[in-house]
Amino acid sequence: MTRIKRGATTVLLGALALAGTTLGIAGSAAAVPAGAPRTAPFTDHAVFLQTDNPDGNQILAYDQAANGTLSAAGTYDTGGDGAVAAGSAVDPLASQGSVALADGGRILLAVNAGSDTVSVFRVSGDQLALWQIVPSGGQFPTSIAVHRGLVYVLDAGGAGSVQGYALIADALRPLPGSNRSLGLANTDPPNYLESPGQVGFSPDGSEVIVTTKQSGSDIDVFAVGFAGLLSLHPVKNPSATPVPFAFTFDQAGHLVVTEAGTSSLSVYALNPGGTVSALGSVTDGQTALCWVTQDNGFFYGSNAGSATVSSFQVSAGGTPVLLGVAASTEAGTTDSAATPNGRFLYVENGGAGTLDEFHVKDDGTLFEIGTVTGLASPMEGIAAS
Confidence of residue 32 (pLDDT cuts 50, 70, 90): very low
Distance CA 154, CA 144 (A): 6
Q: Mean pLDDT throughout 349-354?
A: 97
Confidence of residue 44 (pLDDT cuts 50, 70, 90): confident
pLDDT digits (tens, 9 = 90+) for 279-318: 999 999 999 999 999 999 999 999 999 999 999 999 999 9
Q: Mean pLDDT throughout 93-108?
A: 98
What architecture is domain 3-29+46-384? 7 Propeller (2.130)
pLDDT digits (tens, 9 = 90+) for 214-243: 999 999 999 999 999 999 999 999 999 999
Confidence of residue 253 (pLDDT cuts 50, 70, 90): very high
Distance CA 315, CA 111 (A): 35
Distance CA 315, CA 363 (A): 15
- pLDDT of 38 strictly over 60: no
pLDDT digits (tens, 9 = 90+) for 364-377: 999 999 999 999 99
The number of beta carbons lying within 10 Å of the beta carbon of residue 229 is 17
**Which tops the pLDDT comparison, 349 or 2?**
349
Q: Mean pLDDT throughout 90-107?
A: 97
**Which tops the pLDDT comparison, 172 or 2?**
172
- The rounded percent of the chain whose pLDDT value lies above 90 is 89
- pLDDT of 40 strictly over 80: no
Mean pLDDT (the chain, rounded):
91
What is the pTM for the complete model shown? 0.90
pLDDT of res. 380: 97
In this predicted structure, which of 2-16, 55-69, 105-119, 265-279 has the lowest mean pLDDT?
2-16
**Domain range summary for the chain, segments of one domain joined by +:** 3-29+46-384
pLDDT digits (tens, 9 = 90+) for 46-88: 999 999 999 999 999 999 999 999 999 999 999 999 999 999 9
pLDDT of res. 23: 34
- pLDDT of 34 strictly over 50: no
Q: Mean pLDDT throughout 103-113?
A: 98
For residue 141, which of 104, 172, 168 has the smallest C-alpha distance?
A: 172
The number of beta carbons lying within 10 Å of the beta carbon of residue 272 is 7
Are 383 and 108 in contact by the 8 Å Cβ rule? The answer is yes
- pLDDT of 21 strictly over 50: no
Are 355 and 384 in contact by the 8 Å Cβ rule? The answer is no
Q: Mean pLDDT throughout 325-352?
A: 97
pLDDT digits (tens, 9 = 90+) for 174-212: 999 999 999 999 999 999 999 999 999 999 999 999 999
pLDDT of res. 27: 38
